[in-house]
Amino acid sequence: MTTAKSTHQDEGVVEARRLTAPQIFDAAAANAREELRRSDRKQAFSGIAGGLTIGLTALGVATVRSMVPNEARHHR
């Protein structure tokens, strides 16, 4: 469920409404276009940071799984 919030400052009321699929797509496309306007350096840094995050997450999961006994992993 995706919602957008609009505020009425004079009344102090916040109301939420559901977005339609085309509205969600348009928002995602606008965000993507904005990201593509960034410099090559910023895009490269973002890619490196994302890759490191994914890689370190996988390494962390593998490390924890190697430390937990097999019996504990199979009893859920």
| Chain-centroid distance, C-alpha 43 | 17
- Reported as a single tens digit per residue, the pLDDT across 25-54 is 999 999 999 999 999 999 999 999 999 999
- Phi, psi at residue 16, to the nearest 5°? -115, 145
Q: Where are the domains of the chain?
A: 1-37, 39-76
pTM of the predicted model as reported, rounded to 2 decimal places: 0.52
- What is the residue whose two structure tokens read 């699929």? 21
